[in-house]
With several copies, the nearest count.
Chain A
Amino acid sequence: MDEAVRRFVRDGDVIVIEGFTHLICFAAAHEIIRQRRRDLTVCRLTPDLIYDQLIGAGCVRKLVFSWAGNPGAGPLYALRRAVEQGIPNSIELEEYSHYGMVARLTAGAAKLPFYPLRNYMGSDLPRVNPLIKTIACPFTGEELAAVPALNPDTAIIHAQRADENGNAQIWGLIGVQKEAAFASRNTIVVAEEIVSESVIRSDPNRTLIPGMIVSAVVHEPFGCHPSFAQGFYDRDNDFYVRWREISQNEELFNRYLEEWVYGLRDRGEYVQRMGAQIDRLKARANYCEPVNYGY
């Protein structure tokens, strides 16, 4: 992870760490904080705690997003401190709705310069974001909304399993990860398990991200905590609730970073420090019916 972040996340880069609630790679964000990256433009539908941490740690210059809350537990206070008070630095916001962000990444992945959608009429969002434009259909004359392609420098995608070439398989919620990876110049795949190519090949329809677009593969078990990995460990909902208190208080926030980020060398030490708490989150078995690929 150390090396992947060093090589593919540089000061000033545009990055996207995707995963909608599911498979959010906190291990990568912590490494970015540890390496004290600066002036990043960070893109995500839901900044979630992961970008709250990046923002509070001073890594971020600009946020491109569609919903900035702590899901089920209130606001993101580090983000609000930056926006409302410029602490630790003021950040620029570029704001869409979910569908707008999905459309931007889809256009980026398809190397289309824009994506059309039936949206935003009557909303104030286009008024505050000049990148939401309109386009007339050449067949019906209808006016549709259009958003520009988003092509980040680097995408970081956490997968349940990948082979050493980065062919990555994800199940459960798949969000917008495929589009984010194809849209980006580089993709870092982080995986709970590195498996042999034959496991990937046993179920090719599960492959969400092909190795050919992957720049680095990192093995990082438990790399999503406090987010979750279906089939591996549950979401740490208690931590999400506790984060409300931590992020609300600048001192508690900084102490959290000291203890859980700067004070640790890597995710391995994080897991060690978590200790027995991890067992509480481990997934029970609920296996799918296998299917036959023979002919």
Chain B
Amino acid sequence: MATDGPQFSPQELMVCQAARQLRDGEVVFVGIGLPNLACNLARRLYAPKLVLIYESGAVGADPQRLPISIGDPSLVTNSLGVFSMFDVFSFYLQGGLIDVGFLQGVQIDRFGNLNTTVIGDYQQPKVRLPGSGGACEIAILAKRVFVIAPQSKRSFPERVDFITSPGFIDGPDSRRRLGMPGGGPVMVITNLGCYEFSDGEMLLTSLHPGCTVEQVRENTGWDIRISPQLTTTELPTSEELRIIRGSHGLHGF
């Protein structure tokens, strides 16, 4: 992206933005890819006592290389603990210990519902996607959920084809009514901007430098609400970029 400061990619901006949301001492249920980079960045700069948990069972991992899969051996070596998946899902996640869950979605709708199951009809899918993995329970049980996703009209429909991982379902009261323990999505970070939730609905709160509200509207499948306090997303600092580009690199994202 072209700005006055250092050059950076949209992915780098998204990683920085995600990293800044994490608070010291929090326990994060983390996936691979951008969330992993965001957590590592946060640990280096903002939240040294952040604890990372991977659904594969590694707790307090300290990977010496960029993990390519959620079960990479580098997540085990010198981690603080390795637990069975029964323990991870029962005691950590359902047990209420997870402060932040990171999710991705092929589709996300205005209520923050995520689809990673099918495009089209479930029985006759246009595209068969991987399915839930741990996403459904993370969406239901984590205290706060962050979503990192590329944005387009197709990936931001008014209503997802299939709710794999519920956000606010169809309005502000749905989660409470259904007895969902977790707080639901609090932020969606795309290549265009950041969204928070108000009355259970997505609200554009900051635009990335160089992006416009028009771009956002063109790439959203519904009439997106814009915050009256709309800001510009803070730029990555050189220190952030140095760390992201450091030992681990950002190859392949």
A: residues with CB less than 8 A from B are 20-22, 45-46, 65-69, 71-72, 75, 79-80, 83-84, 95-99, 102-103, 106, 109-112, 117-125, 128, 142-143, 167, 171-176, 178-179, 182, 197-198, 200-202, 204-205, 207, 210-213, 228, 230, 234-235, 237, 240, 283, 286, 293-295
Instruction: Return the CB mask of B105-125 against A: 1 if under 8 Å, else 0.
Output: 000000001000100001101
Residue contact A295 to B74, C-beta cutoff 8 Å: yes
26 residue pairs A–B, Cβ–Cβ below 8 Å:
A20-B56, A20-B71, A66-B134, A75-B128, A83-B125, A84-B127, A102-B85, A110-B95, A120-B140, A122-B140, A124-B122, A124-B162, A124-B163, A167-B60, A167-B81, A172-B73, A173-B76, A175-B85, A182-B91, A200-B80, A200-B81, A204-B58, A207-B59, A207-B83, A228-B73, A295-B77
Residue contact A204 to B84, C-beta cutoff 8 Å: no
Residue contact A66 to B76, C-beta cutoff 8 Å: no
Residue contact B81 to A109, C-beta cutoff 8 Å: no
Given the known inter-chain contacts A98-B89, A123-B164, please indicate yes or no for A71 contacting B69, CB distance below 8 A. Answer: yes
Cβ contacts under 8 Å, B133 to chain A: 45-46, 66-67, 97-98
Q: Which of B22-75 contact A (CB under 8 A)?
A: 27, 32-33, 51, 55-60, 62, 68-74
Residue contact B81 to A207, C-beta cutoff 8 Å: yes
B165 at the interface (CB under 8 A from A): yes
Given the known inter-chain contacts A20-B71, A84-B125, A99-B89, please indicate yes or no for A174 contacting B94, CB distance below 8 A. Answer: no
By Cβ-Cβ distance, the 3 closest A-B pairs, closest first, are A21-B71, A122-B166, A207-B81
Give min CB distance, B6 to chain A, whole Å: 28
B137 at the interface (CB under 8 A from A): yes
Q: Report which of A67, A106, A234, A294 forms a contact with B86, defined as CB distance below 8 A.
A: A106
Cβ contacts under 8 Å, B169 to chain A: 122
Q: State which of B12-20, B144-152, B171-179 sits at the interface with chain A.
A: B171-179
Residue contact A123 to B72, C-beta cutoff 8 Å: no
Residue contact B94 to A112, C-beta cutoff 8 Å: yes
Residue contact B136 to A201, C-beta cutoff 8 Å: no
Q: How many residues of B contact A (CB 8 A)?
A: 69
CA A75 to CA B216, docked complex, whole Å: 28
Cβ contacts under 8 Å, B175 to chain A: 122
CA A286 to CA B136, docked complex, whole Å: 36
- Total A-B residue contacts, Cβ distance less than 8 Å: 232
Residue contact B128 to A83, C-beta cutoff 8 Å: yes
Given the known inter-chain contacts A71-B71, A83-B125, please indicate yes or no for A123 contacting B166, CB distance below 8 A. Answer: yes
Given the known inter-chain contacts A118-B94, A124-B162, A124-B164, please indicate yes or no for A172 contacting B89, CB distance below 8 A. Answer: no
Closest chain B residue, CB of each to CB of A122:
B166
Residue contact B86 to A167, C-beta cutoff 8 Å: no
B82 at the interface (CB under 8 A from A): yes
Closest chain A residue, CB of each to CB of B64:
A295
Give min CB distance, A97 to chain B, whole Å: 4
Cβ contacts under 8 Å, A175 to chain B: 56-57, 84-85
Residue contact B131 to A67, C-beta cutoff 8 Å: yes
Cβ contacts under 8 Å, A128 to chain B: 122-123
Residue contact A212 to B82, C-beta cutoff 8 Å: no
B249 at the interface (CB under 8 A from A): no
CA A42 to CA B109, docked complex, whole Å: 33
Give min CB distance, B166 to chain A, whole Å: 3
Residue contact A212 to B85, C-beta cutoff 8 Å: no
Cβ contacts under 8 Å, B213 to chain A: none
Given the known inter-chain contacts A21-B56, A122-B178, please indicate yes or no for A98 contacting B82, CB distance below 8 A. Answer: no
CA A84 to CA B77, docked complex, whole Å: 40
Cβ contacts under 8 Å, A201 to chain B: 62, 78-80
Residue contact B80 to A210, C-beta cutoff 8 Å: yes
B141 at the interface (CB under 8 A from A): yes
CA A204 to CA B83, docked complex, whole Å: 9
